[in-house]
Amino acid sequence: MNLREWALPVYTIMIQLAVGALLFLWFLKLYSRSRVEEAELEDLCRIPLMIIYFTIGTAIFGAHFHLSKPLISVLAVSNFHSSWLSREIIFTVLFFLATGSIVALTWLVPGYTRAKNILGWLAITAGIATVFCMSQIYLLPTQKLWNSENTLFYYLGSTLLLGMTSLPAMLLLDLNYSEVQGNHQTKKYVEIVRKAVVWFSTASALVSVLVISQGIHQIITLKMINHQSAQASLELLTGLYQPLVVMRFGLLIVGVSWLLMSVHRIMKKDPEVKDLIGSIYVGFLLVLIGEILGRFLFYAAHVRIGV
């Protein structure tokens, strides 16, 4: 795959990471609003929101490397009524603008909690719509590897998994940054971060099982399709790319296991949660690399038959 071809995996993975992270950040905010002061919730969200916004911006920038004429990409939105690509572009822009508005309000405007919460859910809705449109683009009858419900489940599963594994890393980065700046957080604030690390790391293990099961189910499905395209994709996944398939599943298992080891340390040894940033980042990076491999296989193993 050359630079233009890698632009799509980079874009899709980063958008999914941003959508998943924002979704679970807002769930955490919803859970925590009766447990800590509103000002502390604002502090909790600032750094993660900045990272999420930067991730979306980088994804959009990277996507333009896939286009031969990126400066006229805006013209693609004219087919919203009939094109999944046009819908994806519009929802991506809405996701970017809504998240940017939340970042600006969180950093610059105290209060207006209800407006910020509503804007956050609107951004999440636009993000989920973006991921859905992404998956629909690949439902092509000429490409049997993609043309099934597996594609939608794969994209949604990746969104959940990347969100659950990246958000704890963002929260710990924020906690350590606050310590460096000399802004020591309250015990309630630290406890919320601690619970978030435990909850999301544990939940990621369950989601990883679903993601791996989806990958195995896809291979089984290809075996059952009596079509030249399906059999060619199957041959690639079980032949040339088999080591990468095994490596992908292995990285997901090891990455999530690493996160669960961190949870075990929290539950049994009760260390300072900020000291777990190294192990949480390692687990997240392993999962991320596994997802990058999965996205490479998604594009590399498809075989088109016909026009």
* Residues 30-39: contacts with CB under 8 Å, at least 24 apart: 30/117, 32/192, 35/188, 35/192, 36/186, 36/188, 36/189, 36/192, 38/111, 38/113, 39/110
Q: What is the pLDDT of residue 104?
A: 93
Residue 68 located in a structural domain: yes
Q: What is the pLDDT of residue 71?
A: 57
Residue 157 located in a structural domain: no
The answer to whether residues 130 and 189 belong to one domain is no
The answer to whether residues 207 and 241 belong to one domain is yes
Q: What is the pLDDT of residue 166?
A: 96
* Under-50 pLDDT residues of the chain: none
The answer to whether residues 183 and 195 belong to one domain is yes
Q: What is the pLDDT of residue 69?
A: 59
The answer to whether residues 38 and 125 belong to one domain is yes
pTM: 0.91
Q: What is the pLDDT of residue 72?
A: 60
Q: What is the pLDDT of residue 182?
A: 61
What is the number of structural domains in the chain? 2
Q: Using N-to-C axis directions, what is the helix angle for 84-108 and 113-137, rounded to 10°?
A: 160
Q: What is the pLDDT of residue 103?
A: 94
Q: What is the pLDDT of residue 61?
A: 87
Residue 160 located in a structural domain: no
Taking the mean position of all CA atoms in its chain, how far away is CA 130?
12
The four Cα atoms 97, 100, 102, 105 give a dihedral, to 10 degrees, of -120
The answer to whether residues 264 and 184 belong to one domain is yes
Q: Is-contact 95 123, C-beta < 8 A? A: yes
Residue 159 located in a structural domain: no
Cα separation, 290 vs 182, in Å, equals: 36
The answer to whether residues 46 and 70 belong to one domain is yes
Cα separation, 28 vs 198, in Å, equals: 12
Query: Coil, strand, or helix at residue 269?
Result: coil
Range of the domain at 81: 1-137
The answer to whether residues 116 and 256 belong to one domain is no
Token pair for residue 231?
């059999």
